[in-house]
Structure 1
Amino acid sequence: MNTINRLGDVLIHVKDLNKSAKWYAKILELPLAEEDIQGPVHWFNIDGGRGVLLDDNRNNSSHVRPSFMLHTDDIDKAYQLVVKNGGEIIREIERDEMVSFFNFKDMDENMVMICQQHYKHE
Structure 2
Amino acid sequence: MTTSPIENRIGQVFIPVRDMARSARWYSTLLGLPEAEPTHSATIYDLPTSGETRLALDANRPEFDTSGPPRFFFWTSDMAVTVSFLRDLGVKFDSEVQDIGSVMFLQFRDPDGNPLMVCQRTVT
Question: Per the shorter chain, which TM-score range?
Answer: 0.3 to 0.5
More strand by share: 1
Q: Quick one: higher RCO (CA 8 Å, sep 6+), 1 or 2? A: 1
TM-score, normalising length: structure 2: 0.45
Point out the structure with max Rg over C-alpha.
2
TM-score, normalising length: structure 1: 0.46
